[in-house]
Amino acid sequence: VSNFKDSNELKALASKIIMALGKPWVISTHEFYISTSIGIAIFPEHGKTYNILLKNADTAMHNAKSKGKSCYEVFDFRMHKNILEYIDMEKSIRYAIKNQEFILYYQPQIDLKSGKVIGLEALIRWIHPKKGMIPPNKFIPIAEKTGLIREIGKWVIYEACRQNKEWIEKGYKPIKISINLSAIQLKQKNLIDDIKNIIEETGVDSNYIEFEITENAAIEDLEKTIGILKELKQMNFRIALDDFGTGYSSLNYLKMLPIDYIKLDKFFISNVTIDSKEQAITKFLIKLAKEMAIKIIAEGIETNDQYDYLKKHDCDIGQGYLFGRPISANEIEEILKKTK
């Protein structure tokens, strides 16, 4: 494009192109459409040669793509820095796997009626030799994009099962551990075989293991997910639908997916004592789940008011800073000793 006033004019044009190409068309009975991602680089500030200009437009386009379908981006030199950081992170994660820098923390889940600990959610932590503890939201998304989550996820399943068995062998009362599965793992062909091998290797009782999947992950390939979940159920694992209320939250999926628990997302719980709409939805979901023989786990309980409200309305299980933050296996063991 030549003779333009400013980048706004280019953005408007990009928007127009995306819309024009996005119009669906029909061949026989099938509907098709093209989604377009556009990267914009401007001469001469983003490159004085054709090659550099094209390379930077390409970088901008990849940035646009990562924002979702049908977006455009104008190149910015900071994008190079982001890419370098990304590559650096990927390298560090690869190294961390080899160097065994990951550990599992565990957060207690409480029976809201009796106040007793009835389960633990395994949450991964990266203990970086220089940077200290890195939370999962900093590296899980990159591990997912690069596929490294497969290896990390397999280790998480192994470690949680091994720990569960170790505690039982030490004579503590058996306690259920729940493990987060990423969407990438659900798509993995050998997930079930890996899990079978882990059961054999660790000798864990699958009755004490639960898998958590988010609704968004489940519906990426609904048929396949249902198949995998059914297999897991046959092997006596429990299934929880994580972060319920943040995605489509379709009641239809509750009917189709073979789940034992719904985890109500913390955004719900944080408003449950303030917002009457949130209250209505929560009450309704608790009732509906009861009818379907599904248990509700409320996530992110931070205050006594939230606790009281949920208990009063018959919510089964709770998890949150009010009862305890995620802590190391050694610290959990101290709690187990007291309840022995």
Calpha distance 290→154 (Å, rounded): 33
Calpha distance 34→45 (Å, rounded): 31
Q: Which is nearer to ligand C2E, 56 or 319 (CB)?
A: 319
Residue 191, amino acid: L
The piece of 51-59, 132-140, 228-236, 250-258 that touches ligand C2E (CB under 6 A) is 132-140
Binding of ligand C2E by 140 (CB under 6 A) = yes
Among 266, 268, 272, 315, binds ligand C2E (CB under 6 A): 266
Count of Cβ atoms closer than 10 Å to residue 248 Cβ: 11
SS3 119: strand
* Rounded alpha-carbon distances, angstroms, from residue 283 to 46, 278, 290: 55, 9, 11
Q: Select the binding partner of residue 157 from ligand C2E, Ca ion, none (C-beta < 5 to 8 A, by kind).
A: none
Among 166, 205, 221, 302, binds ligand C2E (CB under 6 A): 302
Q: How far is CA 201 from the centre of its chain?
A: 27
Q: Which is nearer to ligand C2E, 163 or 182 (CB)?
A: 182
End-to-end CA distance of the chain: 74
Binding of ligand C2E by 93 (CB under 6 A) = no
Among 124, 175, 204, 264, binds ligand C2E (CB under 6 A): 124
DSSP 215: H
Binding of ligand C2E by 221 (CB under 6 A) = no
Cis upstream peptide for 129 (omega within 30°) = no
Among 40, 156, 199, 209, binds ligand C2E (CB under 6 A): 156
The least distance separating ligand C2E from the CB of residue 70, rounded to whole angstroms, comes to 27
Among 90, 136, 205, 273, binds ligand C2E (CB under 6 A): 136
Calpha distance 9→275 (Å, rounded): 43
Residues that bind ligand C2E (CB under 6 A): 107, 123-124, 135-137, 140, 153, 156, 180, 182, 242-243, 266, 300-302, 319-321, 326
